[in-house]
Amino acid sequence: MEDPANRQGFLFPKSVFLGTKTKTMDNSGLAYQWIQALHSYLAYFVLAMLIFAVANALMGWMGKKDFTMHKDLRISLFALILSHIQLLVGLLLYFISGSGFKAIQTLGMGGLNSAARLLAVEHPFTNIIAIVLITIGWSRHKKFMESEKKFKSIAIFYGIGLVLILSRIPWGQWFG
């Protein structure tokens, strides 16, 4: 019986199969391209939703508005859910991409130039921290009864998370 690691798959490039010993990743596979496109396009929705959630929380906090379950809760929850989906897609991409974990395995940390280091180290780990902060903001807001504290928690933690995400987007790949 043929070892799946020795054949080129329709959806996955050869080195995606478990058990392969290849040091580089062929990024031409259909699944890789779909995951990369999903990660890229989903980023626009995540950023828009986070900006909307932070703006809504700031207006509620500064305007001393009531935190409503119909609007405010849904906006912040949708931003949280989209952020987590983006994180999962990004982690999947990180482990199947040649410019993610495999770049560190192949070149080592000293062999990465600044652009490669951004993709292999800074972008994923900074965004993990950002999603953790967004999750903390969501969890904290649930503990408060006062609307002002709910809005404040979401505004601060989602805002810091948004700034971290914006700081480590590979802008050259988006617009270059």
Tell me: the pLDDT tens digits for 93-148?
Answer: 888 877 777 777 677 666 777 777 777 788 899 999 999 999 999 999 999 999 99
> How would residue 172 be classed by pLDDT, with cut points 50, 70 and 90?
confident
- Residue count (the chain): 176
Burial class (CB in 10 A: 0-12, 13-18, 19+), 2: exposed
- What is this structure's pTM? 0.78
Q: Which long-range contacts (CB under 8 A, 24 or more apart) does 13-22 make?
A: 15/102, 16/96
Residues 6+ apart with CB under 8 A from 61: 148, 151, 152, 155
Average pLDDT value over all residues in the chain: 82
Neighbours of 142 (CB within 10 A): 9
- Quote the percentage of the chain above a pLDDT of 70: 78
- Quote the percentage of the chain above a pLDDT of 90: 56
d(CA 99, CA 10): 21
d(CA 17, CA 65): 53
Cα→Cα distances 145→69, 72, 106, 133, 163, Å:
12, 14, 51, 20, 27
Q: What is the pLDDT of residues 144-166, one digit of tens each?
A: 999 999 999 999 999 999 999 99
- pLDDT at residue 109, rounded to an integer: 64
Q: Compute the average pLDDT of residues 20-36.
A: 66
